[in-house]
Amino acid sequence: MADQPILLEVKGLKLHFPVGGGWFGPPRGWIRAVDGIDFALRRGETLGLVGESGCGKSSTARAVAQLHRPTAGQVLLKGQDLARLDGKALIAARKDLQMVFQDPYGSLNPRMTAGDIIAEPLRIYHTRGILRLSRQDMDLRVGELMERVGLSRGFRNRYPHQFSGGQRQRIGIARALALRPEVILCDEPVSALDVSIQAQILNLFKDLQAEFGLTYLFIAHDLAVIEYIATRVAVMYLGTIAELSDAADLYRNPLHPYTQALLSAAPIPDPEVEATRQRIILAGDVPSPDRARTGCPFVDRCWKRMDACRTHTPRLREAGPGHQVACFLYHDPE
């Protein structure tokens, strides 16, 4: 995968939301949802983004897709900075970057039929003159897409409420595929699904990737799901990346104490294993991301903290081949 070209590169991405201050006054503070992260996606790979609620993984996806405009940083899609584009230029550039959302109930318009939902991206790009498609072409395309994601063409005129959760997620995937994108941002696409359906959808993602050479940014909070689908993994904590590594290396040799705690807390569906394994149980909760802080964001919950962790902020540094970590256990504070 290392010889493939870089499709998407994120540099110094920040996304801050103002809080308080009323309608006209200046904001009283900022929620630092994403606070300076860098990563790159090569063609055909899957970067898993994992972390707990509030760590900024969904905000990252939304900032990459320009659904929220980034506060700072660059989002380079095939060398073009999406953060600097507007209007039609942004829409045209975003054709190669589509998104699948978490909630298969909330992300489909209940008043539109499945066929119309899947055709909508095509229609939008057609009316703006970016894409030329006849009515027949569009119908044909929708039929193909439905079949490809495992939905019968006969369901075209049904409404979202007539589908189960798994089928709804298939509609969302077909919609994301409609424009033949190269990169798909998947924001927790399986976490709302039942176990048996989750496996179906994960397999579908893998098959589509093999068939169309897709590149995924795959967000999940479940480490086992990420392990199954991702080739590289970024672990996020409080708006920053704590560890970024090839998937196998991350699971075999987790370096950051937070990654170690996450892995040891992930339940294993086997009572024999559960009875014997050692757990790292963290104290306390994730702190609120509402103020700038010096020092490591994980310092309050870390059982390996040192003095330097309070005074210096660790940056993501190479700790081995293809393995980066932001922790002073592995490099000295500068």
Partner 1 sequence: MDAEIILRVEDLRTTFDTDEGLVKAVDGVSFELRRGETLGIVGESGSGKSVTNLSILGLIPSPPGRVASGRVLFRGQDLLTLPGPALRAIRGDRIAMIFQDPMTSLNPFLRISTQMMEPLMLHQGLGRRAAKARAVELLLLAGISGAERRIDQYPHQFSGGMRQRVMIAMGLSCNPEILIADEPTSALDVTIQAQILDLIRELTRRTGTAVILITHSLGVVAGICDTLCVMYAGRIVERGPTRAVFAAPRHPYTQGLIRSVPRLDRKYQFVSCIPEGDTEKGPERLASIPGQPPVVVNLPECCPFHPRCDQAMELCRHRHPPATDLGQGREVRCWLYPEGAGHG
Binding residues for partner 1 (CB under 8 A): 52-53, 164-167, 194-200, 202-203, 206, 221-225, 227-228, 248, 251-254, 260-274, 276-279, 281-282, 285-286
Q: Is residue 242 within 8 Å of 258, Cβ to Cβ?
A: yes
Sheet with strand 240-246: strands edge to edge: 97-100, 183-187, 215-220, 46-50, 232-237, 240-246, 323-325, 317-320
**Nearest Cα to 248, choosing from 329, 320, 326?**
320
- Strands 232-237 and 46-50, by their bridges, are parallel
Q: C-beta of 321: minimal distance to partner 1 in Å?
A: 18
Q: Nearer to partner 1 by C-beta: 70 or 160?
A: 160
Q: List b or e across 49-86, with b for residues whose CB sees 16 or more CB atoms inside 10 angstroms.
A: bbbeebbbbbbbbbbbbbebebbebebbbeeeebbebe
Q: Which is nearer to partner 1, 79 or 269 (CB)?
A: 269
* Closest CB to partner 1 among residues 83, 236: 236
Closest to partner 1 by CB, 260 vs 313, is 260
Q: Which is nearer to partner 1, 30 or 258 (CB)?
A: 258
Closest C-alpha to 114, from 80, 153, 141, 63: 153
In the complex, what is the shortest distance from the CB of residue 257 to partner 1, in angstroms, rounded to a whole number? 11
Least distance to partner 1, CB of residue 118, Å: 19
Q: How far is the CB of 122 from partner 1 (least distance, A)?
A: 27
Q: How far is the CB of 244 from partner 1 (least distance, A)?
A: 18
